[in-house]
Structure 1
Amino acid sequence: MLIIANSTSKMAVQEDLVIVEPPSLPTWKAPSPFDRNDANLVLRASDRVDFLVHGPILVIASPFFESMLSELPQPPADPDQTLGKPIIDISEDARTTEAFLRFIYPTLDPDVEELSLLRSVLAAGVKYKLSVVVAAVKKTMVSPRFLKSHPIDVFAIACRYQFEVEAKAAAHRLEKHSWGLPTHSGAGLDELNAGQYFRLLQFELGRDVSTFCHSPVNPSALSPMRDTAINAAIDVAFPFTGPDGDLILRSCDSRNFYVHRAIIALASPEMLDGSLKPDTTDAAAIPIYQMQEDSVCVDILLRLCYPVTKSEFSSAQTYGAVLVAARKYQLREVERLARVQWKTFVTEDSDMSMYFLAVELGWKEEAVTCAQHIALQGTVEVRKLSPRSTKKAKAKTFTCPAVYTQYIPSMESISSVPYRNLLSYVNGYRKAATSILHLSDLPVDASSMQLSLDSGPSASVTPYPAQISTGAPPPWLLDQFTNIKHELEKRPSSDILAIGTPLWYSFITFVMNNKPPGQDYINPPSDVRWAATVLQRYAEAIDWAISKVNLRL
């Protein structure tokens, strides 16, 4: 808010301007050229530095100042006293104020060397509609000083202010060095929404990206968990038809639900006294509270509060909307009852939406369940030109988790933090499952050893090993372990080694038909027992490894 101090007038200028008496705290004058007595206005920075400025220059540079100064009362001329001029208190500090004023004054442009100053000057330029300041900062952003050392920050700033050209320049710089993208961490990434980070990731993967700052699809496509009208309106039914209700809850699609204040207050003491306010513009006989949810969502919420037959959730979208509303209105029992049905709506098609919903609600267990499902979705092939910017670019194909290429509209309204945490979790999950290096406690074929001693020379007997390195398996088992790891890369789960699976049959059959070097005796039961134990230990090692992967919320 701007505050105008005037030594002769106490009249309010406009709604966001307040006239106050000059403060008694000390102030300091800004350096030249902002110390001239022929100035007709004072901009007072937040750290109490006074900039004596010329109104006509501000008016030419900024429609914001033009509108504000046209209604500013003028004091009597007093060129020798600062307080003889209108004083405008602004929220920017002196460093930021001096920088943006030098951009609009007929002086040398300031040398913006620090990222923090660039951010604050740009924010002031946008706030005060100083197009010349915004243009100068945009040019500075993509200078080598910032683009080489702070590409992620430049990308984030560009996305925040919808600067597509600057975002693209930063993306090209990031592609050359992969600043933080492989680990999904880095200063500045927290400022992006999930959709912006997704598009940056697609660019890094070599895909064509037409826009970075906003979705190329319909920008009005909201998250189904947040949309205010996801269903067709329904007719209000008993017990919400009145006439004994003492207040009305009105849905966003204009359906009136007559309810009892006592029941609502029991369900949530905060709902009517905090989350909702009565509509004072409606002259109805009883209070009306406007809700943002549609009639389907409101009906389900209320039926979960009332001792009546409950409504079924028609879709995952409706289920999510009810949970978000229950949390907003602090309907704790409604949230508890709805939470029981969580697994009903977790499917391969809804994993991403349900993951973001669980994160929003702070449900760690449910978020982990969704993340595990997403980690098991397999991989996709990506063909990338590397380096893309050179004429002799060569294409290479590699695989990445399927989640890297999955997009839902709600990502435009969600921070990139939970999305990047999900990608890191998927990477960790897959790495854990495919990095098993040692299997131990395997049965030595003692029965085969004894039979061989009775029937022939002991030198011909080599019992199965009690330990195996899966990183460097015995040569006679190399192909088998290579196949297992290949399948784990596609689906990082111990399920691929369960009894009856193709890999299980393949491994058992191979061990029965192929012996370790030097072992001639054939004992099928022992062969099967050893092979089955190898697979069991492998599966246990996978389960243990992935259980140690942590999902950050």
Structure 2
Amino acid sequence: MLRGYEFNASDADIVLVSNDTEPFEFRVHKCVLAVASPFFRTMFSLSQPNNPGKPGSAGASLPHIPVSEPKRTIEGLLQFVYPIPDPAISTLEEVTTMLGAALKYEFECPVASLRKLLVSPHFLQSQPVRVFAIACRFDLDAEAKTASQYTLRVNVLDCPLSDDLKHISAYSYHQLLDLHRRRSRAARELIVYFPESVKCALCTGGVHAMFRSPRWWKEFESRAKERLAIAPTTDGIFEMEFLAECANAAECQRCFESLCSAWPFLQEMKARIDALPATI
């Protein structure tokens, strides 16, 4: 969170009181909250009961509005709303808490900023299943679709159990599992054909072996299908390191040459797999 700025304006006309053991009072401006939030705009248009603060406290004569969120959450939302730097948010826990509050109070700009942050590369690459669950929890369809594509890189059934999954429906989770199942099956079906023009001078060079596939292909087919069964994405399996492992496992001195000659074909195969449906 931003340090060095306190919401204690001398010209404040409303006080938000946090829900903490020691409640914190944010002295803020109705006009700012009304512009940022239809929720507060409607609230301020209605007759308000006189709910002053503690006698002797700063702003005791101003209307006080108790909120159910702690200081850290309200402070972060106000930093989004006021013309000061946005809060520094580094965890999905913070995103979830603040996004829930922003949606509750209809803070439109904070919601937009938090939605972008939710699908930032840092979170998508490190915790895609959690991002998917959070997006589904708040009915963020676009973000859920984006996150579902990133989950293809992991084994969803082997991810750490997260409390975020408690807040999504069985339907949403089934959508994700169905995406993985369908794409995995379709991707593995694409790794079945090998062009007869690609041969290995050693392991398919004899008369009796000329109609066989090179040994490296058999290794590639087996290993690639195994990976696609777990994470249905082309990440890794068409990189040279993985292909070299397949060639070495074939135990054929000329298989690497054959593999290199098949590079255009392998790239076409990768493109066909990448073109498969990748989101819920």
Quickly name the TM-score band, shorter chain normalised: 0.5 to 0.7
Out of 37, 62, 78, the residue aligned to residue 101 of structure 1 is 78
Distance 2:157 2:41 in 1: 48
Greater share of helix: 2
1:205 alignment partner in structure 2: 181
Deviation, 1:151, is: 1.3
How is 1:219-298 mapped onto 2 (pairs within 5 angstroms)? none
Out of 93, 99, 116, the residue aligned to residue 116 of structure 1 is 93
TM-score, with length taken from structure 2: 0.61
Out of 172, 181, 189, the residue aligned to residue 165 of structure 2 is 189
User: What secondary structure sits across from 1:383 in the alignment?
Assistant: helix
Q: Which ranges in structure 1 are unaligned for 5 or more consecutive residues?
A: 1-29, 208-380, 396-553
Q: For each residue in 1:484-511, what CA deviation from the matched residue of structure 2 results, as whole angstroms up to 9, or x when unmatched?
A: xxxxxxxxxxxxxxxxxxxxxxxxxxxx
CA 1:184 to 1:110, structure 2 compared with 1: closer, same or farther past 3 Å?
A: closer
Distance 1:96 1:124 in 2: 8
1:170 alignment partner in structure 2: 147
8 Å contact from structure 1 (residues 158, 164) kept in 2: yes
2:233 alignment partner in structure 1: 387
Q: Does 1:85 align with 2:34?
A: no
Deviation, 1:155, is: 0.5
The structure with the largest alpha-carbon Rg is: 1
Out of 19, 35, 38, the residue aligned to residue 63 of structure 1 is 38
Deviation, 1:146, is: 1.7
1:40 alignment partner in structure 2: 13
Q: Does 1:50 align with 2:21?
A: no
8 Å contact from structure 1 (residues 387, 394) kept in 2: no
Aligned-pair RMSD on alpha carbons? 2.9
Deviation, 1:109, is: 1.0
Amino acid at match of 2:44: L
Distance 1:388 1:167 in 2: 21
CA 1:184 to 1:97, structure 2 compared with 1: closer, same or farther past 3 Å?
A: closer
Distance 1:32 1:105 in 2: 11
Amino acid at match of 1:199: Q
Distance 1:162 1:185 in 2: 23
8 Å contact from structure 1 (residues 387, 393) kept in 2: no
Distance 2:146 2:166 in 1: 19
8 Å contact from structure 1 (residues 57, 105) kept in 2: yes
Out of 125, 129, 139, the residue aligned to residue 102 of structure 2 is 125
Deviation, 1:74, is: 6.7
Amino acid at match of 1:52: R
Amino acid at match of 2:93: S
CA 1:184 to 1:113, structure 2 compared with 1: closer, same or farther past 3 Å?
A: closer
CA 1:68 to 1:148, structure 2 compared with 1: closer, same or farther past 3 Å?
A: same
How is 1:130-145 mapped onto 2 (pairs within 5 angstroms)? 130-145=107-122
Deviation, 1:33, is: 4.2
CA 1:134 to 1:83, structure 2 compared with 1: closer, same or farther past 3 Å?
A: same
Q: For each residue in 1:329-380, what CA deviation from the matched residue of structure 2 results, as whole angstroms up to 9, or x when unmatched?
A: xxxxxxxxxxxxxxxxxxxxxxxxxxxxxxxxxxxxxxxxxxxxxxxxxxxx
Distance 1:189 1:88 in 2: 33
How is 1:426-441 mapped onto 2 (pairs within 5 angstroms)? none
User: What secondary structure sits across from 1:52 in the alignment?
Assistant: strand
Q: For each residue in 1:175-207, what CA deviation from the matched residue of structure 2 results, as whole angstroms up to 9, or x when unmatched?
A: 0122xx234763233333211111101211245
Greater share of strand: 1
Deviation, 1:170, is: 1.1
Q: Which ranges in structure 2 are unaligned for 5 or more consecutive residues?
A: 191-231, 236-266, 274-280
- Give the % identical residues: 36
- Structure 1 stretches of 4+ with a deviation exceeding 4 A read 73-76, 388-391
Deviation, 1:157, is: 0.9
How is 1:358-373 mapped onto 2 (pairs within 5 angstroms)? none
Q: Alignment length, in residue pairs?
A: 190
CA 1:31 to 1:68, structure 2 compared with 1: closer, same or farther past 3 Å?
A: farther
User: What secondary structure sits across from 1:72 in the alignment?
Assistant: coil
User: What secondary structure sits across from 2:145 in the alignment?
Assistant: helix
User: What secondary structure sits across from 1:382 in the alignment?
Assistant: helix
